[in-house]
Every structure is written in C-alpha cells, then in structure tokens.
C-alpha cells in the first residue's frame, strides 16, 4: 500500500507498507439437519513496513493467532480454543510466500513441543516449535479469489477515505496506519448489519489489529519485531508453484529422526474416513505421488547479506524478464515480416498455402528465440567484492 497523505513528501521513512489479512473460522456449533452449522469468524490484520513481508510475516502471524486462541483472557476464563492441535490453512500458491521452502521449512518444526527442544540446540528452525500441526491447502492457479480480498480492503478503504476528505494528513507509514485502525470507530468490531449466514466467512465476531517492526524503525518497543533476515531450508520436491502438489501436512511421525516430524505432501486434499481417523489414506494413488519430507533449517543470513542477496535476485529477475520481453517482441516482428513476405510471394497461390508458409516461418523464429532465453536468464550478477562474491557463489551467482 502506498501512502498518499500530504506529509509523505518530506518523509524519511518508506512510504509503502504491507497489510496481511487472516480470516479465522473457529468453534463450530452442532450440525443442523438440512443446514450448515454456525461458526465464529474473526478477522486479523497485520501491518508491517514495506520490506517486511513473505513467509517470515506469515509464520509470525500464525504463531500470534495460535496464541490468541489458546491463551485464557487476562480477566480470567477459558481460552477460545483450548488444546488446539491442528490449524488448517487455505491460501493461494504464491511462489515465494507459501509454495516455497521458506514456508515448508518452518512448518516442519511447528508440531514439535517447545518443552522438548534441547537447550543447546543450534537449529534455528526450532524457534517455530509450537506443538501444533499445520495443514496447508492450496487453491489451483487463478482460483484463490474470495472473501479475503474484500476483507483486506476494509482498513485500506477507510484510510484512503480519511486522506481523501482531508481528515488525516499524517498517515505516512505502517505505524500511522496501525494507529488509525485502532482509533477508527468503524474498525473496532464488525457492523451489526453483517448478519451471519451459517458456515460463510461473514465477519460476525471480532476485528483484531497487529503490527510488526523491523527492529530499527523506532517502534520496536511497541510491536513484535520481525527481522529482515533470509532463512534457508532444504527444498521439497514438487513445492514449486507449478509442481502439481496442493496439500502439505506437518505432523509428528515415529522413526523420522531429527525433529521427529515430517511434512507430508500429496496432490490433493482428502477428507475420507481414513484421513479423518488419522489412518493411511486409501486414495493416494490419485494425483502426483505422495511422500514425506524433512526440509530442515540450513542457515540464516545477516541483514546485510539478505539485502545483497535480494538485490542480486531482483537484478537477475529483471534481466530474465527483460530478455524474454525482447525475444517475444523480436519473434512477433519476425513472424509479421515472414507473413508479409509469404503473402507477397504467393499472391497468385491459394490462400491456404500462404497461411501455411507464414505459420512455419513464425514457428521457426519462436523456436530459435526460445533457445537463447536460457543463456540470457543465467547471466552473471555482480554486486560486490570479497565476501559478497563468496556468498553469491554459494547461491550459484557469479561475482566480479
């Protein structure tokens, strides 16, 4: 989200921030014959600086939400969901937020009981140990539009409305966005006219706002800190966005060694009687081959190393995308020229013959341009010297 208040022109901080939204269904009622059971729907929003995003924010938010539902309220009483053992997620397959090793790696450690982590453990993945299973389901490509989209716009629309009418002129970073949301009367709870229709994601319970600091912006005492450091985990087969796997379940498993947990991956979610009972599924033969994985933690880079790596990755993507666009334009131009030449040369021939000649020429041009794309996308990226080059070399990136 780009800040547009009048005071952003002289702002020394980034004028962009991120808003992460999570909709939570919990405590379903009894099943009713001929209808859906009632369920509570809460909304959790998380503000953060523009550079604090991705899997790190996702897992930090999930830990906070888990604590929200399993901790008794300060005034006494019972937790909202005492003894929570499993969280089911539905998200899109974003390739560097959800469907990637930086997400599946922390998932491996979620089911570990924090009390069982050795004091001398050097594996930083254990920071995610929370004694809770994660079941992550993915929508198919281009099929993740839903109530979360309009829900994410609610606070943004209120902020833009306040700025547009001149009622707010100092909303220039994530902290000011957080302050606005905490003070705005219309964002304290869902409005009464949002009557809940059983089983849907209509907001019918609470609104909750949080914010994350990067530890250097002056607000680290007010909010939870999420450091901008890249953590590396072992990759999983088929975890890419086009890998055909849409179901990942982190669970405890005897004999798995190490963490004592695995991330079970399969093609599609299943709710058969055996899966519900925790027994081996009878339908694993459908879709890609299922398997257990252990994407353990490898290393965590410093803030400076993370900055260098991201700049290198960004430059590499720009070179690759720019090369692809140039090749597509060249192919289209050559195909048009071939079509014109073929039409002119075969003016007296049947139209079908001219079309075939043009199509053959276009295919030949496209094939030749495709062959050069791999070489341009793997071009070297040089951003520094000495230890920076050494670090880039470990990631398959050449230095100067």
Please give the structure tokens belonging to residue 300: 């965590």
> Quick one: pLDDT at residue 322?
75
> Quick one: pLDDT at residue 313?
85
DSSP state of 349: S
DSSP assignment string, 191-235: -TT----TTS----S-EEEEEEE-SSSS-TTTSEE-----EEE--
Residues 58-103 pLDDT 10s = 999 999 999 999 999 988 889 999 999 999 999 998 888 998 899 9
> Quick one: pLDDT at residue 375?
34
**Other residues' Cβ atoms within 10 Å of the Cβ of residue 391:** 20
pLDDT class of 321 with cuts at 50, 70, 90: confident
> Quick one: pLDDT at residue 240?
60
* pLDDT, the chain, mean: 79
**How large is the average pLDDT for residues 300-322?**
86
> Quick one: pLDDT at residue 347?
58
What percent of the chain has a predicted confidence (pLDDT) above 90? 36
What percent of the chain has a predicted confidence (pLDDT) above 70? 75
Residues 345-366 pLDDT 10s = 665 554 444 443 333 333 333 3
d(CA 268, CA 288) in angstroms, rounded, equals 9
> Quick one: pLDDT at residue 363?
33
> Quick one: pLDDT at residue 355?
42
Tokens 């005897």 belong to 254
Q: Is residue 344 pLDDT above 50, yes or no? A: yes
Asked whether 173 and 3 are in contact (CB, 8 A), the reply is yes
Residues 92-110 pLDDT 10s = 988 889 988 999 999 999 9
Please give the structure tokens belonging to residue 348: 């007296």
Residues 114-165 pLDDT 10s = 998 877 678 999 999 999 999 999 988 777 888 888 898 999 999 989 988 8
pLDDT class of 248 with cuts at 50, 70, 90: very high
What letters, b where the CB count within 10 A reaches 16 and e where it falls short, cover 129-146? bbbbbbbbebeeeeeeee
Closest CA to 45 of 27, 24, 74: 24
* C-alpha separations of 382 from 375, 393, 400 in Å: 17, 10, 5
d(CA 249, CA 88) in angstroms, rounded, equals 9
> Quick one: pLDDT at residue 84?
94
**How large is the average pLDDT for residues 321-328?**
68
* C-alpha separations of 81 from 67, 74, 130, 206, 364 in Å: 10, 15, 15, 15, 62
């Amino acid at each position: 989200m780009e800040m547009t208040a009048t005071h952003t022109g002289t702002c020394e901080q980034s004028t962009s921030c991120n808003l992460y939204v999570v909709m939570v269904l919990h405590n379903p009622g009894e099943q009713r014959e001929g209808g859906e059971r009632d369920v509570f729907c809460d909304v959790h929003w998380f503000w953060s600086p523009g550079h604090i995003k991705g899997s790190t924010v996702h897992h930090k938010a999930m830990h906070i939400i888990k604590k929200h539902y399993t901790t008794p309220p300060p005034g006494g009483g019972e937790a909202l969901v005492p003894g929570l053992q499993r969280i089911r997620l539905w998200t899109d397959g974003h390739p560097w937020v959800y469907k990637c090793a930086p997400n599946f790696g922390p998932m491996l450690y979620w089911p570990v009981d924090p009390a069982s982590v050795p004091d001398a453990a050097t594996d930083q993945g254990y920071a995610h140990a929370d004694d809770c299973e994660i079941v992550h389901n993915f929508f198919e490509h281009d099929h993740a539009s839903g109530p979360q989209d309009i829900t994410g716009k609610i606070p943004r629309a209120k902020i833009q409305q306040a700025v547009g009418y001149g009622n707010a002129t100092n909303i220039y970073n994530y902290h000011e966005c957080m302050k606005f949301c905490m003070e705005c009367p219309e964002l304290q709870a869902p409005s009464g006219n949002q009557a809940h229709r059983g089983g849907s994601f209509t907001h019918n319970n609470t609104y909750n706002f949080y914010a994350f600091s990067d530890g250097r912006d002056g607000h680290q005492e007010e909010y939870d800190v999420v450091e901008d450091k890249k953590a590396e985990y072992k990759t999983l087969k088929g975890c890419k966005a086009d890998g055909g796997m849409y179901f990942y379940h982190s669970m405890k498993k005897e004999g798995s060694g190490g963490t004592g947990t695995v991330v079970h991956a399969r093609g599609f979610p299943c709710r058969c009687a055996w899966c519900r009972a925790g027994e081996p599924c009878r339908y694993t033969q459908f879709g890609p081959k299922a398997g257990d994985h252990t994407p353990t933690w490898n290393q965590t880079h410093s803030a400076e190393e993370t900055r260098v790596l991201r700049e290198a990755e960004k430059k590499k993507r720009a070179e690759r995308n720019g090369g692809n666009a140039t090749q597509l334009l060249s192919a289209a131009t050559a195909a048009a020229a071939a079509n014109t030449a073929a039409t002119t040369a075969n003016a007296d021939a049947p139209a079908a013959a001219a079309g075939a000649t043009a199509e053959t020429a276009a295919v030949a041009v496209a094939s030749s341009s495709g062959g050069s794309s791999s070489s341009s996308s793997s071009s070297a990226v040089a951003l520094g010297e000495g230890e920076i080059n050494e670090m880039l070399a470990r990631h398959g990136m050449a230095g100067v």
